[in-house]
């Protein structure tokens, strides 16, 4: 499977890329600049000791992949989605973005659609299967790809089959995935991130996370 991470050159994308590449997926880092994508991909490959990750401009990365993840600041959410929309029909789109308040990341500024995930679905239409995941996993934890991550990943979206695929993609990273149901639950999932940022600050840690208990193993 080919998985692209648009905006994968920042904080959150590289850890996801490293973990998926180690799991045997074909991973592409997307960027607004082809050179930047190639540079970051080369750095990650050097870290892995193998040439597993490629770098491409975002539209090209979206065109060649079956699954496309988006890791850009929420301020670039709509414009980035619109810039690749034509390449996404029939595909799975994993929204990782969190609409944090730009002046205070301990608060949310949810868009009119209800959440980033629902906004993406609204922009992309029903032909694209939008699934929310990874909002509650810190970039710091993901980046240390040699270490297991002590948290769950909530996965929600309206297409059950696409949700199943993303649950598997999360597990392939070595993380525990939880089926969190329909896309409207993304409002809750995304909002947990603001809470976790507050906890990181209060407890002086980098990677607080969530764990759901009481589910069958």
Ligand X SMILES: NC(=O)c1ccc[n+]([C@@H]2O[C@H](COP(=O)([O-])OP(=O)(O)OC[C@H]3O[C@@H](n4cnc5c(N)ncnc54)[C@H](OP(=O)(O)O)[C@@H]3O)[C@@H](O)[C@H]2O)c1
Q: Which parts of this chain interact with ligand X (CB under 6 A)?
A: 7, 9-13, 31-33, 36, 71-74, 76, 79-80, 96-98, 100, 135, 138-139, 193
Q: Which residue is nearest to ligand X (CB)?
A: 10
CB of 105 to ligand X, least distance (A): 8
Size of the chain, expressed as the number of residues it contains: 217
Do the Cβ atoms of 114 and 196 come closer than 8 Å?
A: no
Compute the CA torsion angle 42, 48, 52, 57 (nearest 10 deg).
-30
Give alpha helix (H) positions in 49-124. 58-64, 77-84, 116-124
Sign of CA dihedral 143, 40, 73, 130: negative
CB of 216 to ligand X, least distance (A): 27
Instruction: Identify which of residues 35 and 161 has a Cβ nearer to ligand X in the complex.
Output: 35
CB of 20 to ligand X, least distance (A): 15
Instruction: Identify which of residues 10 and 217 has a Cβ nearer to ligand X in the complex.
Output: 10
CB of 212 to ligand X, least distance (A): 17
Q: Which residues pair with 156 in a beta bridge?
A: 132
Instruction: Identify which of residues 79 and 127 has a Cβ nearer to ligand X in the complex.
Output: 79
Count CB atoms within 10 A of the CB of residue 147: 11
Instruction: Identify which of residues 127 and 169 has a Cβ nearer to ligand X in the complex.
Output: 169
């Amino acid at each position: 499977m080919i998985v692209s991470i648009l905006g994968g050159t920042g904080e959150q994308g590289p850890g996801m890329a490293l973990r998926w590449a180690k799991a045997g997926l074909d991973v592409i880092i997307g960027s607004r600049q082809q050179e930047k994508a190639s540079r970051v991909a080369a750095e990650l490959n050097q870290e892995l000791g193998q040439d597993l990750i490629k770098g491409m401009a975002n539209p090209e990365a979206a065109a060649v992949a079956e699954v496309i993840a988006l890791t850009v600041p929420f301020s670039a959410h709509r414009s980035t989605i619109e810039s690749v929309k034509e390449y996404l029909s029939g595909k799975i789109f994993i929204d990782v973005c969190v609409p944090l308040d730009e002046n205070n990341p301990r608060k949310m500024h949810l868009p009119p659609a209800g959440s980033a995930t629902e906004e993406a679905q609204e922009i992309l239409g029903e032909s694209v299967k939008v699934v929310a995941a990874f909002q509650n996993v810190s970039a710091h934890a993901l980046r240390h790809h040699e270490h297991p991550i002590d948290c769950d990943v909530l996965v929600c979206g309206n297409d059950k089959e696409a949700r199943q695929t993303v649950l598997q993609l999360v597990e392939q990273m070595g993380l525990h995935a939880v089926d969190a149901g329909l896309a409207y639950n993304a409002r809750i999932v995304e909002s947990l991130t603001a809470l976790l940022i507050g906890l990181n600050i209060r407890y002086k840690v980098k990677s607080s996370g969530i764990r759901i208990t009481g589910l069958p193993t």
